Amino acid sequence: MKIRLVSGLAAGAVLLFAGAAFSGGVSTHAATLVDFDETTSELWALPSGQPLTSYLNEARTQYLPANLTAYEPPDPCLPPAATWNLTFLYDARHHTTSTFMYTALLKVMSQFACGARVTALTSGTPQPLVAVAPSK
């Protein structure tokens, strides 16, 4: 009984935090990466059919794996996407987040105008990144 109560309270706290964090709404877009400023962690991208948008890469941003079957050589976006996936697997195995690697890969992917699936809060400028994954 006591465990159920504690579990219920923990789940309620998570839901309250999530509701507060996402009160402005969330949007997901396929986007072309344009620039990444490593000093401010600001990512600039062109979402499909939208104007240039700035996103803020934060400590709580989730880095999701790419679907590598969509890429074909000599696509310059294939090596960074493959490295992204290796980093994702390393992080999953070692229960860590290699933010430095993802930051470097976002910079490289921006230089090649690679695609990404971007999920962000719609409140604020730049929009806080919820999740990002390389995409074709």
pLDDT per residue, tens digit, the chain (136 aa), is 433 333 333 333 333 334 445 457 999 999 999 999 999 999 999 999 899 999 999 999 999 999 999 999 899 999 999 999 999 999 999 999 999 999 999 999 999 999 999 999 998 889 999 999 999 8
Query: At residue 111, what is the residue type?
Result: Q
**Confidence (pLDDT) at 105:** 98
Main-chain dihedrals φ then ψ at residue 80, nearest 5 degrees: -65, -35
Residue 10, pLDDT score: 33
Q: Which CATH number fits domain 25-135: 3.30.1490.20, 3.40.50.720, 2.40.50.320, 2.170.190.11?
A: 2.40.50.320
Contact at 8 Å (CB) between 72 and 82?
no
Q: pTM of this prediction? A: 0.80
What span, in angstroms and rounded, lies between the C-alpha atoms of 47 and 53? 7
**Domain extents in the chain:** 25-135
